[in-house]
Structure 1
Amino acid sequence: METIIFADDGERSLERSTAPIPDPGPREVQLEIKATGICGSDVGAWHRKSAYDFVETPRVPGHEYVGVISDLGEDIEYFDVGDRVVERPLRSCGVCNACRNGASHVCENLEITGFHFDGGFAPYSVVSVHSLHRVPDSLTHRQAAMAEPMAVAARATLHRTNLTTGDDVLVLGAGPMGAFSALIGDTLAANVTVGGLSRDKPRFAVLEDLGIRTVNLETTSTSECANEYADGGFDVVVDATGSTSALTDGIAAARPNGEAVVIGIPSGSLDIPTPDFVRQEQRVSGSYGATPADFERALEIMEGVPDELDAMSQSYEPDDVERAFRSFADGEVIKPILETSLLDY
Structure 2
Amino acid sequence: MPETTAPALVKGGPDRAATSVVDVAVRPPAAGEVQVRVEACGLCGSDVHAWRGDEGYEWVRTPVVLGHELVGEVVAVGEGVAPSWTGRRVVPIAIDGCHACSVCATGRTQLCPHRQVLGLSFDGGGAAHVTVPAGRLVEVDADAPALRMVLTEPMSVAAHAVRRLGDLPPGARVAVSGPGPIGLFAAWLLARAGVDVVLTGTERDEPTRLAAARRLGLHAVRGDLGDPSAPVDAWIEASGSAAGVAQALGSVVPGGTVVVVALFARQPVVPMNTLVRGELQLIGTYASLREDYDTAAGALATADGLEEVVSTAFPLGRAVEALEATAAGKVVKAVIVP
TM-score over 0.5 for the pair: yes
Change in Cα spacing, 1:326 to 1:164, as seen in structure 2 (3 Å) is farther
Moved more, 308-317 or 285-294: 308-317
1:177 aligns with 2:182: yes
Structure 1 CA distance for aligned equivalents of residues 49 and 15 of structure 2: 16
Runs of 5+ consecutive residues of structure 2 not aligned to the other structure: 1-5
1:209-248 equivalent positions in 2, closer than 5 A: 209-220=215-226, 224-226=227-229, 232-248=230-246
Deviation of the 1:76 alpha carbon: 1.7
Contact 2:178 2:200 in 1 (8 A): yes
**Letter of the 2:200 counterpart:** G
Identity %: 27
- SS of the equivalent of 1:8 reads coil
* 2:292 equivalent among 279, 284, 294: 294
Residue 218 of structure 1: how far off its partner (Å): 2.5
CA spacing shift, 1:45–1:215, aligned 2, 3 Å = same
Q: 1:205 to 1:97 in 2, by over 3 A?
A: same
Q: 1:166 to 1:302 in 2, by over 3 A?
A: farther
Distance in 2 (alpha carbons) for counterparts of 1:144 and 1:302: 6
Residue 19 of structure 1 corresponds to which residue in structure 2? 24
Secondary structure of 1:252's partner? Answer: helix
Which of the numbers 305, 309, 312 marks the counterpart of 2:310? Answer: 312
- Let me know the Cα RMSD of the aligned residues: 1.9
Kept in 2, the 8 Å contact 1:149–1:177? The answer is yes
Distance 1:22 1:179, change over 3 A: same
Matched, 1:83 2:81: no
| 3-state secondary structure, aligned to 1:225 | coil
Q: Is contact 2:14–2:53 with CA below 8 Å preserved after alignment?
A: no
Who is 1:343 aligned against? none
Displacement of 1:32: 0.7
* 47, 56, 64: which one aligns with 2:52: 47
Q: What is the CA distance between 1:14 and its match in structure 2?
A: 2.9
Q: Find the aligned partners of 1:253 and 1:78 in 2 and give their Cα distance.
A: 53
**Residues in 2 aligned to 1:289 and 1:109: alpha-carbon distance in whole angstroms:** 15
8 A contact 1:242–1:264 mirrored in 2:
yes
Cα contact 1:169–1:237 (8 A) shared by 2: yes
Partner deviation per Cα, 1:266-321 (whole Å, 9 max, x = no partner): 242542342x4334332111111111111111111112323223311111112322
- CA change 1:96–1:12 in 2 (3 A) is farther
Q: CA 1:24–1:198 in structure 2 vs 1: closer, same or farther (change >3 Å)? A: same
Partner of 1:271: 270
Q: Distance in 2 between matches of 1:158 and 1:10?
A: 36
For 2:219, the aligned partner's letter is R
Deviations 1:155-195 (A, max 9, x none): 00024433476421111101111111111111012122111
Q: Secondary structure at the match of 1:51?
A: coil
Structure 1: distance between partners of 2:139 and 2:301 = 13
Secondary structure of 2:64's counterpart equals coil
Q: State the TM-score, normalizing by the size of structure 2.
A: 0.92
More divergent stretch after superposition (237-246 vs 36-45): 237-246
Pair 1:198-2:203 in alignment: yes
Deviation at 1:203, TM superposition (A): 0.9
29-38 or 47-56, which deviates more = 47-56
The match for 1:158 among 157, 163, 187 is 163
What amino acid is the match of 1:272? P
* CA deviation after TM superposition for structure 1 residue 94, in Å: 2.3
Question: Out of 252, 255, 258, which is 1:254 matched to?
Answer: 252
In the alignment, structure 1 segments of 5+ residues that lack a partner are: 227-231, 341-345
Q: Residues 82-106 of structure 1, C-alpha deviation per residue, up to 9 Å, x if partnerless?
A: 1010000113122332112221111
In the alignment, which residue of structure 1 is the partner of 2:325?
327
Deviations 1:111-144 (A, max 9, x none): 1011110100111111111100111134211111
Give the partner amino acid of 2:332.
Answer: I
Give the TM-score normalised by structure 1: 0.90
SS of alignment partner, residue 185 of structure 2: helix
Aligned partner of 2:231: which letter?
G
Secondary structure of the residue aligned to 1:86 is: strand
C-alpha spacing 1:99/1:327, structure 2 compared with 1 (3 Å): same
| Partner SS state of residue 157, structure 2 | helix
Check 1:337–1:166 CA distance in 2 against 1; reply closer, same or farther (3 A cut).
farther
Post-superposition shift, 1:79?
Answer: 4.0
The correspondence for 2:172, drawn from 148, 167, 176, is 167
Determine if contact 2:231/2:253 at 8 Å carries over to the other structure: yes
The question of whether the paired residues in 2 share the 8 Å contact of 1:76 and 1:129 is answered with: yes
